[in-house]
Amino acid sequence: MPEYIMFIWDDEQAWELAEPATVEATMRAHGEFIAEHAGVIRGGNRLHTSESSTCVRADPQGSVRISDGAFAETKEVIGGYYLVEATDLDAALRIASRIPAPFGGVEIRPIRPTA
Amino acid sequence: MDPVVAAAVADAHRMHWGLVLAAAARLTGDLDEAEECAQDAYTAALTQWAADRLPTSPAGWLCTVARRRAMDLLRRRDVHRAKLPLLVEAPLTPGPDHVLEHGYADGPDEGGDLAGEGSPFVAVPDDRLRLIFTCCHPALDVNARVALTLRLLCGLSTADVARAFLTSEPTMAARLTRAKKKIETARIPYTVPAAEDLPARLAAVLDVVHLLFTTGHTAPAGVGLVRRDLSERALDLARMLHRLLPADAGVAGLLALILLTDARRHTRTDADGRLVLLPEQNRALWDRSEIAEGLTLARQALRVRPVSRYVLMAAIAATHASAPRWEATDWAQILALYDHLVTLWPSPIVALNRAVAVGHALGPRAGLDALEPLTRDPQLSGYHYLPATRAEFLHRLNRDDEARTAYTEALHLTDNATEQAFLRRRLAELPP
C-alpha cells in the first residue's frame, strides 16, 4: 500500500492572530478528519513554528553546513520526511546529516508534544 | 554603599558572571531562571560582603549562592511542576575523557570549589564551556550567537548589547528571547559536544569570539574607532577558552591574534582621533607585554600540524609585531603566510589582504595585478578598503588622477568618521 505525507503549509502569523474559537474549531476539524480516516493515517503531528527550524546542507567539499531557520528558497518544497527519535539537537543533526539529499537539504523541526 | 564592596562586586561581575550563571543553569535547566539566580547572587553580594572581610574566593561564594537559589527554585517547581526543565543535558555527563584528549584542563582557575556544600551535584570541570558551546551553536543565527555570548557569558545588559550592535533595545531583547526559545524547543544541548563534533563546534565558538573582537576593534559607524569594551570582552573570552583548552592550537592562535592586534590599539588613532595606519604608527607605544605573550602563544601554536586559520592570522600579526620599523617588515614572509591562508580560507577579504602583501613584497604594479580580479567580486563591491588600496598602488605608480578617483570612491563607501577623515587627508596630499 503506497503511503503519502501531507504537509500542511499555512501562515504562521495568521495562526498567532487567530481567535481562540477559530483555533478550537480547526482542532476539532482535525479531530474529525483523523476519526474519519483512522484506517489510513500512519502518523501526523503539529510542528513548532518554523522559527525553531535548523537546516543542514552538505557542501561540495563534503563538509556539513548548519544554519538557523527554515529553507526560504521557493524552489525547494518538502519532498519526504523521516520521523526520528533523538535525545537532543546534536544527536538529531548527526542523523540528519546521513540522510541522502543530493538535490537539497534536510530541515529538522522538533515535534510539539500533544498536551 | 561601601565603595570597596561596590568595586569588588563590579570586578566579580566582570570576571565571573558567566561562571555563576553556568553553575546555576546546570541546576535550573533554564537560561532565564539561571540569569535570575546569578542576578540574585550579585545582589546578595552587595549587601552581605563587608569591606574588611571580602570572600577569599568571590567566584566560589557567588556560585554557591546562585546554586542555593537554583535549588530553591527546583523545590518550588517540584511542588507546582508548572514548568519542565528545558535545557537538555546529555544522558551521560560528557565524560571529560574525550575532552581531556583535546586538552581540557581543570586548571587552577578562579572558580574555586563549585559544588556548593550539601549539593548533590558533583562539580564539573567548568560549566562555562557548556554555556559557550550552547550560545555559539551553529543552529542559532550568527548575530544571536554573538548577542547570547555577550549577555550570558559576559553579563552585558541587553541595552549594552543593543548599543554595541547599533540596534534598538527592544530589537535586541526580541533577538535574545527568540534564541533562548530555540535552544529550548529545538533542544540544543547544554553540554560540551561529542568528540566527533568538537572540532567544527569549537571553530564556531572561535568565530564568535573573533567577530566580537573585530566589531570592537573597528566600529562600523560613528566616531569612536575602538569600542574598547567589546575588544576587552573578546580578550577575556579567548583567555578563558585557552585556560580551559590549553592544548588546542586554534584557541591559542586566536588568543595570540587578539593580543597582537590589541597591542597596537593606542597607536591606531592620534590625539585628535584620526586614523593612523601601520606605517605611521609609533611602535614604541605598542603594548610590549601583550606582544610578548602573543608571540609565545603564536610560536607554540605554529608547531601543531595542520596549521589552522587563526594560527596563520596570528603569525601574520606576529611578523608585523616583530618588525622594529615599518621599513623592516618581512613582506616575503607575510606574503607566504597569506598564500597559505587563502588556501585554507578562500574569502575575498583574505585575497584583498594578500594583494596588499603582494604590493609590498613585489611592488605596486604586481599589487595592482593581484587586486584586478577582486574588483569584479560582488562581495567586495561595497568595501572601501578595495578602492583605498588601489588608490595607494596607483599613487605609488604616479597615476595620481586615477588615485584621486579611487580615493573618492572609497570615501563614499565608509560610514566611519575616522576612516573618512583619513581618506580626505590622503586625497588632499595628492599633487594637484
Domain assignment present for A115: no
Q: Is the pLDDT of residue A18 over 70?
A: yes
C-alpha dihedral over B388, B430, B367, B336, to 10 degrees? Answer: -80
Candidates B225, B298, B308; CA nearest to B258 is B298
How many other β-carbons are positioned within 10 Å of the β-carbon of residue B356? 20
Query: Rounded mean pLDDT of chain A?
Result: 80
Q: Are B243 and B107 in contact (CB under 8 A)?
A: yes
Judged by average pLDDT, the poorest of A83-87, B234-238, B393-397 is A83-87
B356-367: pLDDT as tens digits: 999 999 999 999
Contact with chain A for residue B98, Cβ under 8 A: no
- Residues in chain B within 8 Å Cβ distance of A89: 88, 137, 139, 186-189
A89/B186 CB distance under 8 A:
yes
C-alpha–C-alpha distance, residues B44 and A32, integer Å: 56
Query: Within 13 Å, how many C-alpha atoms sit on residue B191's CB side?
Result: 24
Query: Is residue B137 within 8 angstroms of chain A, CB to CB?
Result: yes
Per-residue pLDDT band for B125 (boundaries 50, 70, 90) equals low
Q: CATH no. for residue A10?
A: 3.30.70.1060
* Residues, chain B: 432
Q: How far is B217 from chain A (nearest CA, A)?
A: 27
Residue range A55-83: mean pLDDT, rounded: 76
The answer for B340, left when phi > 0, alpha when psi is -120 to 50, beta otherwise, is alpha
Contact, B359 vs B370, CB < 8 A? yes
Q: Which of B116-130, B156-170, B193-207 has the lowest mean pLDDT?
A: B116-130
The reply to whether B186 touches chain A by the CB within 8 Å rule is: yes
Q: Which of A24-33, A75-84, A101-110, B24-33 has the lowest mean pLDDT?
A: A75-84
User: What is the per-residue pLDDT across A59-69, written as a single tens digit (0 to 9) for each?
Assistant: 777 788 898 98
When mean pLDDT is compared over A91-105, B251-265, B411-425, the highest value belongs to B251-265
Would you call A114 exposed, middle or buried from its count of C-beta atoms within 10 A (0-12, 13-18, 19+)?
Answer: exposed
| Whether B178 contacts chain A with CB within 8 A | yes
Chain A residues in contact with B185 by the CB 8 A cut-off are 48, 52, 110
Asked whether A28 and A21 are in contact (CB, 8 A), the reply is no
Q: What is the pLDDT of residue A78?
A: 66
Which of A63, A66, A87 is the closest to B139 by Cβ?
A66
Residues of chain B with CATH 1.10.1740: 3-76
Chain A CB contacts of B137 under 8 Å are 89
Number of folded domains in chain A? 1
Question: Which range, A47-51, B92-96, B373-377, has the best average confidence (pLDDT)?
Answer: B373-377
Task: Please give the model's pTM, rounded to 2 decimal places.
Answer: 0.80
A82 part of a folded domain = yes
- The single-letter DSSP state of residue A61 is T
- For A64, the closest chain B residue by CA position comes to B200
Q: Output the furthest CA–CA distance in chain A (Å, rounded).
A: 51
pLDDT at B84 over 90: no
- Chain A, nearest residue to B133 by Cα: A90
Buried b (16+ CB within 10 A) or exposed e, B204-240: bbbbbbbbbbebbbbbeeeeebbbeebbebbbbbbeb
Q: The cell 549539593 sits on which residue? A: B119
B152's grid cell = 550570558
User: Which residues have C-beta within 8 Å of that of residue B53, sequence separation ≥ 6?
Assistant: none
CB B193 within 8 Å of CB B201? yes
Chain B residues whose CB is inside 8 A of the A106 CB are: none
Q: How confident is the model at residue A26 (pLDDT cuts 50, 70, 90)?
A: confident
Per CB-CB distance under 8 Å, the chain B contacts of A63 are 200
Residues of A within 8 A of B189 (CB-CB) are 87-90
Do the beta carbons of residue B319 and residue B329 sit within 8 Å? Answer: yes
Interface touch B140/A68, C-beta < 8 Å: yes
Of B90, B182, B200, the CB nearest to A51: B182
B139 with A68: Cβ contact below 8 A: yes
- The CATH number corresponding to B3-76 among 1.10.3470, 1.10.1740, 2.30.30, 1.10.10 equals 1.10.1740
If you average pLDDT over residues B63-80, what whole number do you get? 87
Task: Say yes or no to pLDDT of B103 above 60.
Answer: no
CATH architecture of B354-432: Alpha Horseshoe (1.25)
Three cell numbers at B113? 570549589
Residue B181 and residue A69: Cβ atoms within 8 Å?
Answer: no
Show residues of chain B in contact with A66, CB under 8 Å.
138-139
pLDDT, mean of residues B274-294: 91
Nearest to A110 among B178, B186, B194 (CB): B186
Q: Judged by CB atoms within 8 Å, which residues 14-53 of A form the interface with B?
A: 48, 51-53
Cα A70 to Cα A4, A55, B178, B184: the distances in Å are: 22, 6, 15, 17
For residue A94, list chain B residues with Cβ-Cβ distance below 8 A. Answer: 196-197
What would the grid cell of residue B220 be?
562600523
How many other CB atoms are found less than 10 A from the CB of residue A115? 3
Question: What grid cell was written down for B376?
Answer: 569584479
Tell me the average pLDDT of chain B: 85
* Interface contact A89-B139, CB threshold 8 A: yes
**Parent domain of A37:** 3-110
B97-111 mean pLDDT: 36
ipTM > 0.95? no
CB neighbours (10 Å) of residue B330?
14
Concatenating the DSSP letter of every residue in B138-188 gives TTS-HHHHHHHIIIIIS---HHHHHHHTT--HHHHHHHHHHHHHHHHHTT-
Give start-end residues of each CATH 1.25.40 domain in chain B. 354-432
> Does residue B339 surpass a pLDDT of 70?
yes
